[in-house]
Amino acid sequence: MTTTVLFYTVSILLTVLSYFKDRQKTMMALKKAYKAFTGLVPALIPMILFVGIMLTLVSPELIGKLLGDESGLTGIIVGAVLGSIVFMPSFVAFSLGENLLIGGAGYPQVAVFIATLMAVGISSLAIELKYFNKKTTILRNVFALFASLIFAGLIGGIL
Amino acid sequence: MKLVLIKHKFTLAFLLVILVMAFVEPSYARSSLSISYDNLVTMMGVIPPIFLLIGLMDVWIPKETMIKYMGEHSGLTGLFFSFLLGSMAAGPLYAAFPIAALLLRKGARFAYVFFFLGTWTSAKLPLVLFEMTSLGVPFTLIHITSMMLMYLIGSFYLESLLKPHEKIAILDKIHAMSQ
């Protein structure tokens, strides 16, 4: 909530400032912003519906069960798959992770879930492809998945 | 009409799934819609101001400035600025791509843009305190340092895998989008 207010305040203030400095440039900026926004919406809406459906079918309780302390390697794989597919705002993810740990989930399992949640974006592939190409999109996501797994391994070894 | 249907085929497909749920298990449909609505609210909190900032940066930041600070020969400065830009972020991953595109379009080096994306996905400074209180200080520190180290190597490796003509194709694509 606070970030939203901050984001809007800063961007509107800068726009006003920009308008006083150069009206024409600012109008061009607004036009570009509007075009980029409307260009992205057709890809954003299905992503949001998809995540809504996924998170309904895979509830936090179910995730907690799947990532239990005894779940071992299976739990890590399940965590990686779930984290890669869905997304949620980071602060929601962190408190979900905290609740999963309290509910008995293992540290490495929660680690890989949180890390992939933030870094791997299967649900946002269509958006990434809009700006990059197939190769960079696939490689970036695969790399992020591996990095998340290594991070989970470190957590398992240290914590 | 047909074009509109094709353009929104995924939206329509997912709405159909929710409609089926409404008949089979109404609580699932309600939950899907309410989670989607929550995410839509989050999105509207982040995306419009980000696009506004991108628009402003687009008209105000000269290409030469970007090349100087994040271009091919910007060295550690480039790494520093990509880290700074990525870590100040608070938005979800999908909000980072249009910013990455702007950086590339203005002449930033590919490796630095990948590093920017890596930072965005693992070291968000506004959220570090939150992560520490939720998941603990050791967890957060291991998370950030291990991911950043891996992305540091990964960004340059990913860039090295791109052939010159592939880079040009990506740049052409994002240039065309902003016209």
> B71 with B106, same domain?
yes
Residue A51 in domain: no
Determine the residue of chain B that is closest to A156 in CA distance: B139
Identify all chain A residues contacting B101, using CB atoms and an 8 Å cutoff.
Answer: 131
> B74 with B109, same domain?
yes
pLDDT score for B5? 80
- Using pLDDT thresholds of 50, 70 and 90, give the confidence band for residue B159: very high
- Tell which of A1, A94, A127, A142 to mutate to test the B interface (max B CBs under 10 Å): A94
The domain of A85 spans 58-158
Residue A47 in domain: no
> B10 with B68, same domain?
no
pLDDT score for A1? 66
> B86 with B110, same domain?
yes
> A148 with A79, same domain?
yes
> B106 with B34, same domain?
no
Q: Do A37 and B48 touch (CB under 8 A)?
A: yes
> B90 with B40, same domain?
no
Residue B50 in domain: no
> B80 with B143, same domain?
yes
pLDDT digits (tens, 9 = 90+) for A86-104: 888 888 889 899 999 988 8
- Using pLDDT thresholds of 50, 70 and 90, give the confidence band for residue A53: very high
Sign of CA dihedral B117, B121, B123, B125: positive
Average pLDDT in the A99-113 region? 92
Identify all chain B residues contacting A118, using CB atoms and an 8 Å cutoff.
Answer: 93, 121-122
To the nearest 10°, report the CA torsion of B162, B168, B174, B179.
180
Which residues make beta-bridge pairs with A68? A105
Indicate the number of domains in chain A: 2
> A26 with A72, same domain?
no
> A105 with A147, same domain?
yes
> A82 with A131, same domain?
yes
Residue A127 in domain: yes
Residue whose token pair is 């705002």: A89
Residue A15 in domain: yes
Mean pLDDT of chain B: 92
Residue A53 in domain: no
> B165 with B82, same domain?
yes
Residue B54 in domain: no
Q: How far is A120 from chain B (nearest CA, A)?
A: 8
> A104 with A133, same domain?
yes
Average pLDDT in the B79-104 region? 91
What's the CA gap between A108 and A94, in Å, rounded?
14
Residue A48 in domain: no
What's the CA gap between B142 and A18, in Å, rounded?
41
Closest C-alpha among A114, A156, A85, A119 to residue B135:
A114
Ranking A91-95, B23-27, B62-66, B103-107 by mean pLDDT, the lowest is A91-95
Identify all chain A residues contacting B166, using CB atoms and an 8 Å cutoff.
Answer: 133, 135
> A76 with A137, same domain?
yes
The domain of B127 spans 61-177
- Using pLDDT thresholds of 50, 70 and 90, give the confidence band for residue B11: very high
- Tell which of B87, B121, B171 to mutate to test the A interface (max A CBs under 10 Å): B121
Determine the residue of chain A that is closest to B156 in CA distance: A140
To the nearest 10°, report the CA torsion of B121, B146, A139, B85.
40
Q: Do B92 and A91 touch (CB under 8 A)?
A: no
Among the residues of chain A, which ranges form H helices? 2-21, 23-57, 60-66, 72-85, 90-102, 107-119, 125-131, 134-158
pLDDT digits (tens, 9 = 90+) for A56-65: 998 888 888 8
Q: Do B14 and A25 touch (CB under 8 A)?
A: no
> B33 with B78, same domain?
no
CB atoms within 10 A of CB B69: 18
pLDDT at A31 over 70: yes
> B156 with B105, same domain?
yes
Q: Which residue among B11, B28, B54 places its CB closest to the CB of A46?
A: B11
Q: How many CB pairs under 8 A join A and B?
A: 234
> A129 with A103, same domain?
yes
Q: Do A33 and B151 touch (CB under 8 A)?
A: no
> A89 with A118, same domain?
yes
> A106 with A37, same domain?
no
How are the residues of chain B apportioned to helix, strand and coil, as percentages rounded to the nearest 5? 85, 0, 15
Average pLDDT in the A6-27 region? 94
Indicate the number of domains in chain B: 2
Does A16 contact B at CB distance below 8 Å?
no
